[in-house]
Every structure is written in structure tokens, then in C-alpha cells.
Amino acid sequence: MPRLHFLCFAVLVAMLCASLAFSQAVNSTVLGTVTDSSGAVVAGAKVTLTEADTNVSHTGQTNESGNFVFPDQPPGNYLVTVEMAGFKKGERRNIALLVNTTERVDIQLQPGEISETIEVTGAAPVLQTDRADTGRNIDTMVVSELPVLVSNRNYQALLALVPGTAPPTEEHSQFFNASDSLQTEVNGAPRVSNNYQIEGIDDNERTGLLQVLIPPLEAIQLVDVSTSNHSVDLGRGAGAVTNVILKSGSNNFHGSLYEFVQNGDFDARNFFQPSVAAVHYNYFGGTIGGPIRKNKLFFFADFLRTTVHEANATRPWRSAFQCEGCLTQDPTKCTASLHASLTDAPLR
């Protein structure tokens, strides 16, 4: 029994540490300023931030400067509402919050009844003025729609879309690099300067040369790449810090099935080979996610399996008689002169 208690305690500590790491390196921030129609700041206004897919909400108030902030929010699609006596309710929808970003949402209230609602619209700023780091977020649309033609459909091939990165290459032997991880240089720094994470957790092999786990594209929500001036909470990395965010469940059930096939029956024969090499490559799996308890608890799971069977097509062996022009498999049927010349000729 004491051993069981110790095990439960260790699991709780591990979960707490994981949640702290997640909040530090994976989540983002929503902030903004609430003003009235004259441009004066509104203090003490009630601000509610709601995630649209899970309906999980957080409530706060504007300070004396009219500012509000919601730190450590997971990526997703959000709604911000502002309520204040003497003003119509202000609302801003479709706020796409990406990982490791700071999203500014400024709302201007109009005089009126609080039962009335005004929807505030606004485009994202051209320049990011609330952060100093540079890089790119590769969102779900890019991950799911762009063709990835490298082995095992590795998400690291998409890093070529980030400014300052060299084309990713596959290093080392298949034995040493069993996960088929790809490597790239960022801003001229060597590849060992890069840091790869999954949900804020280190995903580097102990030498720093390769990555341990390569999630399937179908399980990835987005990939955040910070190439310079990144925050210290992202951990070590003089080059780029790449953070993979996996999909999560929502209030609705979603799933997918997929398979990618490469088969020698569909291939053309190489000009120099007598037949098509045997190749049977199957990359298949599925995902499923949904609610365990609506608005409270969710789940997401993915499955991937890869099977590979290969054989090389080789040219048939030719005897010395065939090389001299006797094309039969039986040397006794060759002419006596040819047989004599072959058997009496010195080795060369």
C-alpha cells in the first residue's frame, strides 16, 4: 500500500510539472485596451475570454489604464466580450491564437444598454509590436494541405518555409536515424544549435543530432518556429526553437483515416534493370478526438503504422562464354575454337 501511495504521488508530481512546462513554453497571451467612443480608457470593465471549440472561459477586469491581459492560454479560436454599465456589450470573434504569440485585441465601447451587443471587427496588425522574437507559425491549413514528399511525411520538411532556414536534409544511416528525422541550419548556425520540442517537452536525442519522436502530420495542430530573440522559457537553442503542438479534443467528435502507398506494381522499369524492383510501402493510421465531459474534459488520440518491404532488381549473371559471344547456357554447344580460346587464354 505505501508503494502504491508513492506511485500515485509521483504521477501527480509528473502531471504538475508537465502542466507547468506547457504553460511556460506552449501557451500564448491575449491582451488589449478598452476605450469609449471618445478614446478615453474604460477602467473596471468585465472582460471574458472564451475558447470557441471547448467553451472554456476566463474572466477578468480592465485596470485603471483600461488594459486587460490573459496569459498562458492554449492555442485555439477565441471570443472576447467586454461588459460595462452604460455601454453596449462589445464583442470580438474569430481570434486565432497561435502558440508562443501575443495577440492584441483592442475594443471600443459605444454608449447604450448592456443588453445590446456591438461586434468589433479588426485586422491583425502588420507588425508585431508586443514581442521581439522572429520566426513563423505553420498553422493547421499549411500542415494539412501542402504536400510533404519526404520519407514518412516528416513535418520538418515544412521548416523550409521559414525565412533563414537551409533546405532540410536527412542525415546518418537508417540504423542510427530510425525516426527519419531531418536536419536544417538556421541563420548560419550549425544544426546542433537547434532545439526541437513537442508541447514544450524536449524531443532531442541525447547527442542533439536527431529527434526522438516525429508525430504524424494528421496529429499536428501547428508548428511554431522561433529563429531569433526567443524567450528564455523556450529553453536552450542558439539557432531555432521548433515547438510542435498536437491536436486536442473539443465538444464535438472528430476523426480521420488515411493511408499512403508506394508499390512496385505502379512503378516503371529502370532502363538498366531487367525488372521492376519490389517495393511495398504502406503508411497508414487514424485520429479521433472528442469530449469526455463537455466544456470540461477532452481527449485526442492518433495511431500510425509504417510497413516497408523492399528488394533490389539485379542483372542476371553472365558466364565467360556469354561474354565472348556464346549466348547459350550450355558451354558444350559453343564452337570448339571459342571453347579453346576461352580455356587456353591466360587470366586477365
| Residues in Cβ contact with 188 at an 8 Å cutoff, skipping those fewer than 6 apart | none
178 and 278 both lie in a single domain? no
Instruction: Give a yes or no: residue 29 inside a domain.
Output: yes
Same structural domain for residues 12 and 88? Answer: yes
Q: For residue range 89-116, what is the model confidence (pLDDT) as tens digits?
A: 999 998 888 887 888 999 999 998 877 7
Looking at the domain assignment, is residue 9 inside a domain? Answer: yes
Q: How far is CA 329 from the centre of its chain?
A: 58
Q: Does residue 2 have a pLDDT over 60?
A: no
Is residue 122 predicted with pLDDT exceeding 80?
no
b/e for 18-44, b at 16 or more Cβ within 10 A? eeebbeebbbbbbebbbbbeeeeebee
The mean pLDDT of 316-324, rounded to a whole number, is 59
Distance, CA of 199 to CA of 226 (rounded, Å): 14
Q: 307 - beta bridge partners?
A: 282
Write the CB contacts of 345 (distance below 8 Å, at least 6 apart in sequence): none
**Both 305 and 330 in a single domain?**
no
Residues 6+ apart with CB under 8 A from 11: none
CATH number for the domain that contains residue 144: 2.170.130.10
CATH code of 48's domain: 2.60.40.1120
pLDDT, position 62: 95
* 287 has pLDDT over 90: yes
Asked if 235 and 262 sit in the same domain, the reply is no
**Nearest CA-CA partner of 45 in 109, 103, 129, 96:** 109
The answer on 269 and 222 residing in a single domain is: no
Same domain assignment for residues 325 and 241: no
Q: Per the structure, how many domains does the chain have?
A: 4
Query: Among 44-48, 249-253, 297-301, 342-346, where is mean pLDDT lowest?
Result: 342-346
Q: Are 290 and 252 in contact (CB under 8 A)?
A: yes
Higher pLDDT, 147 or 68: 68
- Domain finish residue from 65, 95, 119: 119
Residue burial 60-77, b: 16+ Cβ < 10 Å; e: rest: eebeeebebebeebbbbe
Q: Which of 246, 262, 283 is the last residue of a domain?
A: 246
Asked if the structure places residue 272 within a domain, the reply is yes
Q: Please indicate, yes or no, if residue 102 is contained in any of the structural domains.
A: yes
Among the three residues 119, 145, 162, which one is the final residue of a domain in this structure? 119
Sign of the Cα torsion 226, 232, 236, 239 reads: positive
Q: What is the pLDDT of residue 58?
A: 93
Alpha carbon distance 80, 85 (integer Å): 17
pLDDT of residue 100: 78
Is position 128 within any domain?
Answer: no
Per residue in 160-209, pLDDT (tens digit) is 888 888 888 888 877 788 788 888 888 888 888 888 999 888 898 887 78
Any idea what DSSP says for residue 93?
Answer: E
Residue 296 has pLDDT above 50, yes or no: yes
| 166, part of any domain | yes
Is 50 exceeded by the pLDDT of residue 11? no
Range of the domain at 344: 318-348
Statement: the pTM of the whole predicted model exceeds 0.95 = no
Residue 243, pLDDT > 60, answer: yes
For residues 167 and 210, state if they share a domain: yes
Distance (Å, rounded) from C-alpha 136 to C-alpha 115?
40
Top pLDDT among 255 and 276 is at 255
Overall average pLDDT of the 19-36 stretch? 71
Q: Partners of 67 in the beta sheet?
A: 33
**Do 178 and 195 fall within a single domain?**
yes
pLDDT, mean of residues 247-275: 86
* Within-domain flag for 126: no
148 and 100, same domain (yes or no) = no
